């Protein structure tokens, strides 16, 4: 859509990072087709969303903060409408009668928020989510979609490391190898983008 050319470094990076993700995820544990399909669909939709968001930013001149703000606003409205729809008896029956979808029928429309929970909510909303999106779109606007997409591969590498540091979850050998492979793949992307911009 933006006519960005994939360099040999980008192609190598994608292949290496995908191999690293397979090591992290461990395909032998992927036994539920519904979960796999939803994960792939989610990744595809977010990729499309990222592309259109960048196109909107470039076409309208909106900065990354504005794009992120409108995204959160309309996304919140959409999620709330879906939550309301899940309370319709026919929809609720469909969700509860299909494996893996029961959780969507049990989402409360209103949850009381205690003052003790407010700091965690603010940290999650402002720093983890909003700031992360702003930085992501800033990178995409200032560099390339390919370079910005490296965060998709880095996240599976960072999550287990942070879980080990803060939650004490054990690190498996395959996971450590996968993280290393993902970081190597990401390095290829960064180096390739650096060479491309020196031309």
Could you read off the pLDDT of 62-103 as tens digits, one per residue?
776 777 788 888 888 988 898 888 888 888 888 888 777 777
Rounded to an integer, the average pLDDT of 105-129 is 80
Rounded to an integer, the average pLDDT of 108-131 is 80
User: From its phi and psi, is residue 160 left (phi > 0), alpha (psi between -120 and 50) or beta?
Assistant: alpha
Contacts of residue 147, defined as CB under 8 A and 6 or more positions apart, other chains included, come to 139, 140, 189, 190, 193
Rounded to an integer, the average pLDDT of 46-74 is 77
Q: Identify the sign of the CA torsion 25, 30, 32, 38.
A: positive
Looking at residue 9, what is its pLDDT?
65
What angle do the packed helices 150-166 and 8-25 form, to 10 degrees? 30
Rounded to an integer, the average pLDDT of 101-128 is 80
CA-angle at 192, arms to 187 and 196, nearest 5°? 150
Across the chain, what does the average pLDDT equal? 76
Contacts of residue 192, defined as CB under 8 A and 6 or more positions apart, other chains included, come to 7, 8, 9, 10, 13
Cα 11 from Cα 100, distance rounded (Å)? 35
pLDDT band at 146 (very low <50, low <70, confident <90, very high): low
pLDDT band at 40 (very low <50, low <70, confident <90, very high): confident
Looking at residue 3, what is its pLDDT?
53
């Amino acid at each position: 859509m933006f006519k960005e050319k994939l360099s040999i470094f980008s192609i190598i990076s994608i292949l290496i990072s995908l191999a690293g993700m397979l090591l992290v995820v461990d395909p032998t544990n992927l036994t539920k087709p519904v979960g796999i399909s939803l994960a792939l669909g989610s990744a595809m939709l977010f990729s499309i969303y990222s592309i259109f968001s960048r196109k909107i930013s470039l076409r309208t001149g909106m900065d990354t903060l504005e794009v992120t703000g409108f995204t959160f606003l309309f996304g919140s409205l959409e999620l709330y409408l879906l939550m309301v729809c899940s309370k319709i008896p026919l929809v609720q029956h469909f969700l509860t009668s299909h494996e893996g979808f029961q959780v969507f029928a049990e989402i409360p429309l209103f949850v009381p928020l205690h003052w003790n929970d407010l700091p965690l909510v603010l940290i999650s909303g402002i720093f983890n989510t909003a700031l992360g999106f702003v930085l992501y779109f800033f990178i995409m606007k200032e560099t390339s979609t390919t370079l910005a997409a490296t965060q998709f591969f880095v996240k599976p590498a960072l999550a287990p490391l942070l879980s080990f540091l803060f939650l004490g979850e054990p690190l498996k050998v395959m996971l450590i190898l996968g993280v290393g492979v993902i970081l190597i793949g990401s390095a290829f992307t960064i180096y390739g983008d650096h060479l491309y911009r020196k031309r």
